[in-house]
Amino acid sequence: MKIKNIIIVVSIMIIIYSLLITESRNPLIVDDLHPQYSCDELTEKSDVLYITPLLNNDSILNYPQWCAEMKSLNKTFGLHGIIHQYHELLEPIEEEDLKEVMTIFEDCFGYKPRLFRPPYNKISKENKVLVERLGMTVYSKTYLLHPYCHCQPYSWMKILNIIIGC
């Protein structure tokens, strides 16, 4: 009887986990996209790609071939911060800095970004107002599981990529 109960509990846990994974992967989001990072397989299977336009002060515009390849994927693109520093959007940001990365994004992809996801999902109320005033929707959906994959995960994010099947 104990084995039967264990099997039932494990089966229920697997079903719940499967449902949570399905929810968290719809759509499948990939963060931290930049030409310095290679994650072609993940990029191909994703639905939404969040671009970091100035990673380590290296503009995506320095990689016109990369911009062309990304556009050819016919994916949804969004802006992922300014330079992707830890909680960079909890501190006041300059409108000019945000406009600069929006222009970089537009020059690469041919349109202004409409989606914005702050690094680590942290943004101050004032910065959220600024981002929205500039015409972008701030990603703010809360999930039970981590909903997005990382192009170049480090430390605990590698585990999250595995858990959600990136």
- pLDDT tens-digit profile of 23-52? 555 568 888 889 998 788 888 888 899 999
Prediction pTM value: 0.79
**Domain CATH for 20:** 3.20.20
Residue 103: domain span: 2-163
Give the number of domains in the chain: 1
Type of residue at 132: E
Find the angle CA(124)-CA(47)-CA(11) to the nearest 5 degrees. Answer: 95
Q: Mention every residue, 6+ apart, whose C-beta is less than 8 A from residue 2.
A: none
Tens of pLDDT, residues 77-102: 999 999 888 889 999 999 999 999 99
| 14: helix, strand or coil | helix
The pLDDT value given to residue 146: 52
Confidence of residue 147 (pLDDT cuts 50, 70, 90): low
So what's the pLDDT on residue 164?
67
